[in-house]
Structure 1
Amino acid sequence: MRSRLTLLVAATTVLVLLAFLVPIALLLRQVARERAIGQASAVVQTIVPLALGDPNALRLAVTGQAVPVTVFLPDGTAVGAAATATPAVRLAAASGQTLTVATSAGRELVVPVVGTAGTSVVRTVVTEADLTRGVSRAWLTLAALGAALLLLGLLVADRLARAITAPITELSEVSHRLAGAELTARAAPAGPPELREVAGALNHLAGRIQDLLAAERERVADLSHRLRTPLTALRLEAESLRDPEESARVAAAADGVARAVTAVIQQARRTSSVAVQSCDATAVVGGRVAFWRVLAEDTGRTVTESLPDGPLPVAVAADDLAAALDALLGNVFAHTPDETPFAVTLTARPGGGAILTVADEGPGFPASAARRGASGGDSTGLGLDIARQVATSFETTGGPGGAIVRLELPGP
């Protein structure tokens, strides 16, 4: 925008300068011509009274003039600058009229002087150099003046454009910062009234977004906190089970849900960015597969597990990775019949990170299930989206032969 405003002012200034300077330049050339011819006419007029007088006085008068003067006497002799009788001289002698004729050398001025002995003709020539003397310098002065005015116009236009575009650039930067979740960013009202109004509206929108997010965080935290009561009851029920192993397993599951609820509350109230966390993907995936293996045995499912022999660090928090894998395995148990086998594979990714693949031999899922909130199995449709949030690349394939979900986890 700044360059366009400058270009617009430059074009307008050039047009205005051309409209004024070109006529002035032509006028200066015309004035120079008329001045040169006027000076020559004045010289001729001083010679005319002497044309019929004493030849010696006439010879002295034509000598040393600013322009070359020749007087053709009636007897055919010429006094003054050496010259031959031109057609203009003969015509003036015959007609008795003053003539100004354009020639290759410039302008020829002839004045007849009628006397008793005949007609004398006073002739002078104004050369092209005399006609244009001083014009080139005047034109250069006008060109320099035009260039100076153009530069001044460009400078003023640049300052004006900068005053207009600077607030727009700041508004753009603030909007990008808001889009990057920097909700404390605010625009300083500056520039024209319209831009100040836009800045105020943007600041009001940012504040409104902050208020809405804060209310949403508190609402999520409140809803999550309500789960603690049924979790406490579930833990008490687990402790009342007669089978110690069954009691320990149910209590561990209740503790896991309690930790997840606590993590939800902490994340909901997190208002500032935190350092990127990492974990050992091998340990986390192995632990979650071991947890789900018990339920798989109860439902007759075969579990195939393929994990690296050593630690595999990834730039994902352990709780987030566990939640993502739980969401994927929960989908397997929720949307495939009992005795449907599934496999969990974890491999190192070239360049750092890991690749996590969960595959089953169930009926698969439609393509719409990959969208957040979309489900074809009477669920919330958030499972795949939870898994997608921890991955740098997320791919799903599904059909009658089964479903495959592939996640690429970033390296630390």
Structure 2
Amino acid sequence: MRRRLIQSTLAVVLVVIAVFGVSLVIVETRTITETAKERVKSEAVRLASIVDSRLLVEDKVTAEILGDQMPDDRYAVVRIPGKPPIEVGSQPDGDVISATAPGEEGETVTVQEPRSSVTEEVARTLLIIGLVALLAVIAAVLLAIRQANRLASPLTDLAETAERLGSGDPRPRHRRYGVPELDRVADVLDASAERIARMLTAERRLAADASHQLRTPLTALSMRLEEITVTDDPDTVKEEATIALTQVERLTDVVERLLTNSRDPRTGSAVTFDLDEVIKQQLAEWRPAYRSAGRAIVTSGKRDLRAVGTPGAVAQVLAALIENSLMHGGGTVALRTRVTGNQVVVEVTDEGPGVPAELGSRIFERAISGRNSTGIGLAVARDLAEADGGRLEMLQAKPPVFGLFLSSTPPRKDPDEETRRTVR
């Protein structure tokens, strides 16, 4: 591209120089020639007037006297009636420019100038024009190179940006080049890079959330299946199989919720549900794990509470808090329920060392963990709580107390949404 731009610019400049340069040479040549003729004619008239003035006073007219009045490169012949011609200077060889002027006393003065002087002046003019044309070509080449670099370098840079996007590097470069069209392309590429980055972040977050949220139900399901494999009691097998089916339903609910949130994280399916059933389910799932660790998990507080939310999401939030206490806490884990205003609160606490001071304000951020864990459990739990209008907070650092706040007021139904559902 650079070469084509340089060649096209140079071609335009050469065409302009050819058209105007040739015209200028012709005009200058004619002008110099006409000027030389006028100069010789003026010299002849001037000498004729000198001869007239000397003849009127009957003074002598000699070659020496007239020679002092003429340049050395000219030749003149003065013809006075009744006298021999008077020659002034040396007669030039070759082609000459000649002019004759008559005098008032009947004399004639002929002045000649060698045409070579005109040729030399034309040559000097052509040389000047040629130098100017050469400078114009050099300037055009330099300008073309600068313009080519200004246009080609941004295109190369934009191509590299597009290649980076194609190779999976979505970082925007935010470079601008001072050319509106190229800046527009750069804006589009940067916007595309930001969209791709958001998409990749959402996909990575979905994968991390899925792996974390599916891990607990899968672990519980695995424990139930192990119980089935080691027992021969049909009643125990039936009980464990029923619990395993419940775990499968939870897994299905988790997958559906993950897919729904990946499309629109604001979409919720809050309903009024029995909070005791969710807590009872969690106790049944986690008691084997706590029993294996030599610890206990208990519940206390108000009973027969009904809360607003998605039962599966609430179960996942509680599972994240219980698992967090199992991994990072100590002693007995307690789930306490209480009512404050129009909200139902489920508190999860243990007898462990609590949350370090440096993590207190960042405990719900992703990738923040006190030990070698994923650091996304509490972040996912808070997102699940907020999706249905609830909230998850750390009420106390030592000993640790986490509170899940759920509304006890049934959600208002949107008439338009009900109409849309009826139409569907």
TM-score of the pair, normalised by structure 1: 0.43
TM-score of the pair, normalised by structure 2: 0.42
